[in-house]
Amino acid sequence: MYIWQNGMLVKKEEAAISPFDHGFLYGAGLFETFRVYGGHCFLLDDHLERLNAGLELLEIGKKVKRNEAEGAVRSLLGANGYTDAYIRFNVSAGIGEIGLRSEPYDSPEVLIFSKPLPRAGSLQEKRGKILSISRNTPEGDERLKSHHYLNNLLAWREIRHFPGVEGIFLTQEGNVAEGIVSNVFWAKHGILYTPSVQTGILNGITRQFVIELAEKSGIEVRQGFYSLDDLLNADEVFFTNSIQEIVACPGIGDANFEGMNGQLAGFLHGRYAEGRSSFYSKSEIRTEDDV
């Protein structure tokens, strides 16, 4: 298998980075994961917008454009023989001296990884479990999709004996936050709810896409601070991320929901599927009047 490293295809066994890379030493790096459907990089513009904003904030001297990213992914998938794939697009700060750095980084390390995926299918289910470990607060004003992943790793180990389950973080104040690898939505009386980014969650690209889908379909969406009881009293619950798309949740602990029979999850999954092979951004979603 090949990876893409700084403009070159490299066999995974031969790929290497410097031990002085500040992405390794201090977590100064960002990544995006997105899905390729039949060769199309779904929502690539939205992923790159978030990536580039984070790179600017961290003062990492790199701005990734669509044609560069798409060309690199196409080259990588061609070398590996994939048409439907998981992509991790990683930008690390690059080499620096030992010690924290105040100057911008001017020689970042760009790595792209891929894994084959089956063709996308119907709506799937996954139960939820409330984690005992709290969601930590972001290092800055908002959470970046950075190399700093220890909170998620510890949470993942908490559910390792519960296959097919998504762990759900609460904040230290007890508000619903997000899943280990997902954002959380629920519906009550036809209204869609999801935690605000002000709770410290990652503003997932699929989260943003689903909110836009819902609003342009005439569904009311409310974002805010919600208690665990708000979540457990829902009619339906679902998770979102860029690889698993929309995943219905049939239950959390003793609370049961509509799962794959949920009307909103099923409707939104159907509309989601309409854009898989062509959309670069949520801005391409049409309203009901346009459909």
- Residue 279's CATH number: 3.20.10.10
Amino acid 288: pLDDT: 61
Looking at the fold, whether 189 and 262 belong to one and the same domain comes out as yes
Looking at the fold, whether 89 and 36 belong to one and the same domain comes out as yes
Instruction: Kindly list the strands in the beta sheet with 85-92, ordered across the sheet, starting from the edge strand earlier in the chain.
Output: 8-11, 2-5, 109-116, 85-92, 29-37, 40-41
| DSSP 3-state percent helix, strand, coil across the chain (nearest 5) | 30, 30, 40
Looking at the fold, whether 220 and 274 belong to one and the same domain comes out as yes
Alpha carbon distance 183, 35 (integer Å): 17
- The reply to whether 288 falls in a domain is no
Number of domains in the chain: 2
- The reply to whether 98 falls in a domain is yes
Looking at the fold, whether 148 and 23 belong to one and the same domain comes out as no
Listed residues 116, 143, 162: the one ending a domain: 116
Domain of residue 93, CATH code: 3.30.470.10
- The reply to whether 291 falls in a domain is no
Amino acid 248: pLDDT: 98
Q: Which two tokens stand for residue 2?
A: 């090949």
Alpha carbon distance 225, 203 (integer Å): 15
In the chain, the DSSP E strands lie at: 2-5, 8-11, 29-37, 40-41, 85-92, 109-116, 124-125, 127-130, 165-170, 176-179, 183-188, 191-195, 221-224, 236-241, 245-249, 251-252, 255-256
Alpha carbon distance 282, 209 (integer Å): 5
Looking at the fold, whether 17 and 137 belong to one and the same domain comes out as no
Looking at the fold, whether 81 and 128 belong to one and the same domain comes out as no
Looking at the fold, whether 105 and 160 belong to one and the same domain comes out as no
Looking at the fold, whether 84 and 18 belong to one and the same domain comes out as yes
pTM listed for this prediction: 0.96
pLDDT averaged over 10-residue windows placed end to end, the chain, 291 residues: 97 96 97 98 98 98 98 98 98 96 96 97 96 95 95 97 96 98 97 98 98 97 98 98 98 97 96 96 84 51
- The reply to whether 110 falls in a domain is yes
Structural contact between residues 111 and 69, judged by C-beta atoms closer than 8 angstroms: no
Candidates 131, 224, 223, 127; CA nearest to 170 is 131
Give burial (CB, 10 Å; 0-12/13-18/19+) of 271.
Answer: buried
Instruction: Say if strands 221-224 and 236-241 run parallel, antiparallel, or are unpaired.
Output: unpaired
Listed residues 96, 116, 136: the one ending a domain: 116
- The reply to whether 267 falls in a domain is yes
Looking at the fold, whether 91 and 182 belong to one and the same domain comes out as no
CA–centroid distance for 273 within its chain: 17
- The reply to whether 289 falls in a domain is no
Listed residues 116, 133, 150: the one ending a domain: 116
Amino acid 17: pLDDT: 95
What range defines the domain where residue 185 resides? Answer: 124-283
Looking at the fold, whether 43 and 163 belong to one and the same domain comes out as no
Looking at the fold, whether 208 and 168 belong to one and the same domain comes out as yes
Amino acid 53: pLDDT: 98
- The reply to whether 237 falls in a domain is yes
Amino acid 289: pLDDT: 60
- The reply to whether 221 falls in a domain is yes
Looking at the fold, whether 273 and 200 belong to one and the same domain comes out as yes
Q: How far is CA 6 from CA 62, 65, 109, in A?
A: 12, 14, 6
Alpha carbon distance 42, 213 (integer Å): 15
